[in-house]
Amino acid sequence: MKIALIAHDKKKKDIVQFSIAYENILKEHELYATGTTGQKIMEATELKITRFRSGPLGGDQQIGAMIAVNDMDLVLFFRDPLTSQPHEPDISALMRLCDVYQVPLATNMGTAEVLLKGLEQGFIDWRLLAERRTASQTN
């Protein structure tokens, strides 16, 4: 599965701690992240991550582009709901794309934990169905 890891500045510590705690699950998947988030996770773990630009410089949109072509399976986006973000329209677009393409999205640690445990148990395998991918790419 392809998993995106994103975190606002005040949530980067949380996503790093989360990645350490779930490294054994995450290492089995293809990981993508926005710039600084990916760098911090790689520094704290042995995870291999494809890094995009930082969120405000287009990283959210790069991940959104993968979602739009059905090339992303799960998004873990630790958002800071108490701080105004200058790139809020990009964030909203990313979340909307997750809904349009039925990509599971966690915006906090609790939901991310449930999704990763479900992934580990095979509850998200429907994302891998070739027929589903083909059908959504032709729509």
Report which of 31, 35, 41, 67 is spatially closest to residue 53, judged by C-alpha positions: 35
94 band by pLDDT with thresholds 50, 70 and 90: very high
Share of the chain above pLDDT 70, in %: 92
Domain count for the chain, please give it.
1
Residue in 9, 14, 60, 80 annotated catalytic: 60
CB atoms within 10 A of CB 19: 27
* Residues 5-64 pLDDT 10s: 999 999 999 999 999 999 999 999 999 999 999 999 999 999 999 999 988 888 999 999
80 catalytic? Reply is: no
Q: Is 89 a residue whose pLDDT tops 90?
A: no
* Residues 100-110 pLDDT 10s: 999 999 999 99
Range of the domain at 89: 2-132
pTM of the predicted structure, to 2 decimals: 0.89
Q: Is residue 137 part of a domain?
A: no
Categorise residue 130: left if φ over 0, alpha if ψ from -120 to 50, beta otherwise.
alpha
Q: Which two tokens stand for residue 45?
A: 């773990």
* Residues 1-13 pLDDT 10s: 999 999 999 999 9
Question: Domain containing 84 — which CATH number?
Answer: 3.40.50.1380
Q: Is residue 138 part of a domain?
A: no
Q: Is residue 39 part of a domain?
A: yes
Q: Is residue 139 part of a domain?
A: no
Q: Is residue 125 part of a domain?
A: yes
Mean predicted lDDT score pLDDT of the chain: 90
Q: Is residue 8 part of a domain?
A: yes
Distance CA 15, CA 11 (A): 6
Q: Is residue 79 part of a domain?
A: yes
Q: Is residue 46 part of a domain?
A: yes
